[in-house]
Every structure is written in structure tokens, then in C-alpha cells.
Amino acid sequence: MSALKISTPFDDQLVSSLAAGEEVLLSGVVYTARDAAHKRLCALLDNGEPLPVDLRGQVIYFVGPTPAKPGHVIGSAGPTTSYRMDAYSPRLIAEAGLKGMIGKGGRGQSVVDAMVKHKCVYFAATGGAAALIAQSVIACEVVCYADLGPEAIHRLTVRDFPLIVATDATGRDLYRR
């Protein structure tokens, strides 16, 4: 079976059609964010302020890419452990309209509950394959929080980024099977 080709932004229909265990090739815009950026985004939500990036229908990749070598768009771009974002993900899903996340490892029950309630999907990227993953990135720019260095929020344009649906919008979870 070949991988399903999907593109951002996501809507509820697309998210609902994806099943845990399914292989996908993702194209379009993906934002990067790790713990420090998530904390800042949630602080803005706490204060009723607008986010610097419109996350409605978007996907966040939990990665801190390394600087690009000459002639390359991005450096190494492997996923970080996702549970570190569990304190923040439910709010970004419920309040900011986030529809997809990419990382590695399982997610907590509060995240899965928010995914089911608000139609969101979690993808697993292959850990240890950072250089391979970087080949799917065709453009990269810092869009906010440049002071965080590699943990700034980047806007990536990806083509055929290989992923596996780890947790789908019904709560089926490869990590809990």
C-alpha cells in the first residue's frame, strides 16, 4: 500500500479521514515549535492577546532545526519527544484551532481528549532520521521568537514529508495498542 498524499492546511474532514497506523506524505506549510515557544504562545492566550502565527488548520512540528549548511535549506530536523508539549497542546488545539502535531513518542490523555473533541491528529516522524527528514523541507524561515535560536518558530514548506498517523481524531493510538 502506498502512502496517502495530504496537504496543509487541514480541515475536520481530512483529519477525520486519517487512521492510526496510516502512512502519509505531507506537503505544504508546517510550523516548528518546542517547549519555550509553546509556553510563550499559551502566555499570549492567558492574556487574551493574538498569537504571532495563525494556527487554525495548521500543523506544528516539535523540532529545533540546526542551522543550514551552505547550499541547504535547513540543517538536521529530527523530532523531539512530544510529551514535553503536553501541558500546552490541549489549549492550542481547543483555543487556537491547531489540527495537527508531529513528534515522537506517546501523548498524554489530556492531549488525546482534546484531539478527539476538536478533531486533531498526531503524526510520528522517524527519530534518528533527521538528515533524511530535512530533505523534505524546501523552504524555511523564522517567523517569531528568534531569540530562542533553534527553538524559534519557523515556517517550513515541506514536500512529501514521510509520517505515520500515531494518534487519530477518534483517539486510536499506536503507542497504546
Determine how β-strand 153-167 pairs with β-strand 23-32. Answer: antiparallel
Is 38 known to be catalytic?
yes
Which conformational region is residue 42 in: left (phi greater than 0), alpha (psi within -120 to 50 degrees), or beta? Answer: alpha
> 92, exposed or middle or buried, with CB in 10 Å at 0-12, 13-18, 19+?
buried
CA dist 118 and 147 (Å) reads 32
CA dist 52 and 23 (Å) reads 31
What is the number of residues in the chain? 177
Q: Output phi, psi for 119, to 5 deg.
A: 60, 85
Which position among 38, 72, 118, 154 bears the catalytic label? 38
Catalytically annotated residues:
38
